[in-house]
Structure 1
């Protein structure tokens, strides 16, 4: 239980800045949805779908590799070698992106905005250089500084976006010759969203000064080759994962055969609802930040498999409750999230339950991947992810022309379900973990049934407040049921155990 308690504590500290940053990020998205019609936000949706792919390329699995090898190598040797590698490749990749920006912009169907790609390149430059210092903070168990830097980044970012998109246009409309606006170009418009991100990334790197100062320009070729043998399958895993998550938005306008304005409108609607659907990934990201080093640190314990099983159980319970909380409050989310444009963006709100459950499957899959990371079978993980990516590609090409964004949502659902199941089956052969499989499936089925019950009620009684009230009842009923079933487990939990009788 002490291990679980430690994981909970680390997850809390890594989670607080992540929760703050993601929710403030959602607040920024809501601002865009309130100010701009779907077709206008399509460019941001498309460009930001490129960033996760670039992140995999720029960091090439070195963060996970750092956690793996720091248990076996001198921390200074590893830190200097990996950071030297990161600096060299970051300069190379950034220069390439800037040089080929027009070609890349045309490839994602936004040839009229090559400057977006150049700006994204600078975001990647500064963010990539922060990767190894952040890994050092996490490995050394310094979550408070990690939290401070992450929160500073997002607060600065939010402030800049509000200034560039909310304040500057008003000042410019009142007085185009205002000397305080010497830097402002109204033709950039929504592009200031990206510029604000660049400035926030610069701030983050400056706040990591003490970690950067610890770097010495040394490179050990033998150590680097050893790390890359472990790391390169993670690159494949990462790219496959991003194909599963982001490909739909990159290819959406390519596979549709509609007027350009309608394609952009649909892409804007799809991108907006996708962002709301993956609210659950905030929790998954928080969990992974605490869990990844925790899993490696626990790997030498004889009780490690049992610990991993218990972590999975609590994770699935939390995901079920989060999923239910999202899907029974869709009408409320629509009006809060989209404001005066609720009718436009709300057209696609039906994809949220599908995508959110897909996110639950993805979170379970991330938990299951512990087996191939601990047994050094990362290449097997790469093949699983590539198979999922192939499913995503084929189903998106097939279903988007037939069902538009609903087709893409179901493609995501099927892909993550496949990856979850195949990883579970293979993991039990190579690294058996005593998961409470039947019980966890039952929890998933129960929340889906509660959702359909709620949907049936709101169909016949379309009152937003009655629907919200019933949603709270459904969440309360599920919570009560789980506490009764898992009473002994909850009584052992830190902090909350004393309240469970």
Structure 2
């Protein structure tokens, strides 16, 4: 119980920081989708979404699993100073090399991304990649040293800077430029696009974040332990494949959609709508991110404990319960949450992908939890094969289905890939590192979650009243929570805060 409380506390801190940061960041979605509500604006948002899909994809190559390797070797008793110097030096050198190559090919990349006349946007994106990469190990050090407060402060500060600049460029500047057309800033502003302004805001965020981590990297010296680096790379190399496969599953649809669905303009608008509605599934991804941030070092630190499998099983149970709550809190209340995106980006067709993406993220979250077996047993290649399987499903299905079904092909393909990865990871995990998961209970919670969702869909089929729908959603949500309390009452009594209300 003590270890679970520790994980819960760390998840709370990382959760609060990540949820607050992402919620602050998500304030940009309504701002952008309500302001860029004309076809030209939708094309800009579509191009921006495609560019950031590229950034997420290439970021895996920039970091090549060094974060996870840092955790693994740190928990194994490696000299902390030597480990930090070697990983930081490795990322610094490779970032310089990769950035030089990408900037050299910025013209063709800009053409493919739909911003051909502004190849400087690619240069700015490359700078974001490089700066974020150099912040990776300092952030990892904060997590490994269990300093979530500093982690939260740095993350939130960067996001606030991004929001302020985005509001300045997208909401304030158009009016200022209209009133002062001859101003030097107005001339510069007219020469750029909304895509460029959004990139500048993100670049500034990256720079501010890195500077706020100065205490973590200030003592860095350009030193490199070759033997340690070889061991790090041997461990992390499969993570590059795992990471690339993961990014294929997570972002490749926004790269493929503009090119495969109708004309380029039509495909880009479809991408903008898909990307905006994807953001509605934020609540599940928020928790998954927070859990991953705290669970990865936790799982490694618990690995030597003889009770580790039982601890992992209990973590999985509560993880699934919270995933179910996150799914229901979004899917049941979609009639109200839909106003999160601008009217040009939402309709009955686009909102239909949200529950599919939510279910996909439930599978992804469970997969991340299951993946502990190949990380702590050093069978990273197994994780690589599972991820490649998901990537193959994603690439083949999207290629075949996007031309006909557009964003729905992307949503269902995402679900199919994550579901397959979850099932295969469970089966292999039970062979190589058996964990006594209570499958009957886990499947029951997921089954009840599905029943609650389809019950709400049935209510919506018979009435268009928003009050009736939201009332129904509230009742169903409370029923699920009541069920959890009834089933898990004894364990809940031993938990901080909640426990005192159940005794």
| TM-score between both structures, scaled by the size of structure 1 | 0.96
Q: Which residue of 2 aligns with 1:449?
A: 451
Does structure 1 residue 233 correspond to structure 2 residue 238?
yes
Q: Secondary structure at the match of 2:224?
A: coil
1:264-311 residue CA offsets vs partner (Å, 9 max, x unmatched): 221111111112124311110001111111111111111111111111
Q: Partner of 1:475 in structure 2?
A: 477
Q: What is the CA-CA distance between 1:40 and the residue it aligns to? A: 3.3
Contact preservation (8 Å) 2:259, 2:267: no
Out of 107, 129, 134, the position equivalent to 1:129 is: 134
Q: 1:394 aligns with which of 375, 393, 396?
A: 396
- Map 1:398-417; keep pairs closer than 5 Å: 398-417=400-419
Q: Distance in 2 between matches of 1:6 and 1:24?
A: 27
The answer for unaligned runs of 5 or more in structure 2 is none
- Could you tell me whether the CA contact under 8 Å between 1:60 and 1:234 is conserved in 2? yes
* 2:278 is the alignment partner of 1:274: yes
| Distance of aligned partners of 1:489 and 1:331 in 2 relative to their CA distance in 1, 3 Å threshold | same
How far residue 465 of structure 1 moved from its aligned partner, in angstroms, is 2.0
Aligned to 2:253: 248
Matched, 1:312 2:321: no
Q: Do residues 341 (structure 1) and 344 (structure 2) align?
A: yes
1:459 partnered with 2:464: no
Report the CA distance between 1:255 and its aligned residue.
2.1
Q: Does the Cα contact within 8 Å between 1:165 and 1:190 map onto a contact in 2? A: no
> In the alignment, which residue of structure 1 is the partner of 2:489?
487
Deviation for aligned residue 1:178:
4.0
- Give the count of matched residue pairs: 498
Change (3 A) 1:443 1:86: same
C-alpha spacing 1:24/1:379, structure 2 compared with 1 (3 Å): same
Shift of 1:103: 1.6
Moved more, 97-106 or 83-92: 97-106
Contact preservation (8 Å) 1:334, 1:346 = no
Q: CA deviation at 1:117?
A: 1.7
The 2-side partners of 1:101 and 1:163 are apart by: 27
Of 289, 294, 297 in structure 2, the residue corresponding to residue 290 of structure 1 is 294
Secondary structure of the equivalent of 2:222? Answer: coil
Residues 14-413 of structure 1 aligned to structure 2 (within 5 Å) = 14-37=14-37, 38-71=42-75, 72-178=77-183, 184-185=189-190, 187-256=192-261, 258-338=262-342, 340-341=343-344, 344=346, 347-413=349-415
- Call closer, same or farther: CA 1:495–1:440 in 2, change over 3 Å: same
Residues 80-126 of structure 1: CA deviation (Å, up to 9, x unaligned): 01111011011111111111111222344553443322111011111
Asked if structure 2 preserves the Cα contact closer than 8 Å seen for 1:153 and 1:203, the reply is yes
8 A Cα contact 1:58 1:89, kept in partner: yes
Contact 1:269 1:345 in 2 (8 A): no
Q: Which runs of 5+ in 1 are unaligned?
A: none
**Is the Cα–Cα contact under 8 Å of residues 47 and 114 in structure 2 kept in the other structure?**
no
CA contact (8 A) 2:257 2:268 kept: no
| Structure 2 counterpart SS, 1:50 | helix
For 1:326 and 1:485, locate their aligned partners in 2 and report how far apart those are by CA, in whole Å: 23
Q: Secondary structure at the match of 1:279?
A: helix
- In 2, the alpha carbon distance for the partners of 1:478 and 1:50 equals 39
Q: 1:188 to 1:40 in 2, by over 3 A?
A: closer
Q: Cα deviation per residue 1:136-188 (whole Å; 9 max; x = unaligned)?
A: 11111111111111111001111111111111111111112346768644533
In structure 2, C-alpha distance between the alignment counterparts of 1:93 and 1:109, rounded to whole Å = 22
| Whole-angstrom CA distance in 2 between matches of 1:192 and 1:40 | 11
With the length of structure 2 as denominator, give the TM-score of the two structures. Answer: 0.96
Moved more, 230-239 or 29-38: 29-38
SS in 2 for 1:150: helix
- Distance of 2:36 and 2:341 partners within structure 1: 13
Secondary structure of the corresponding residue to residue 341 of structure 2:
helix
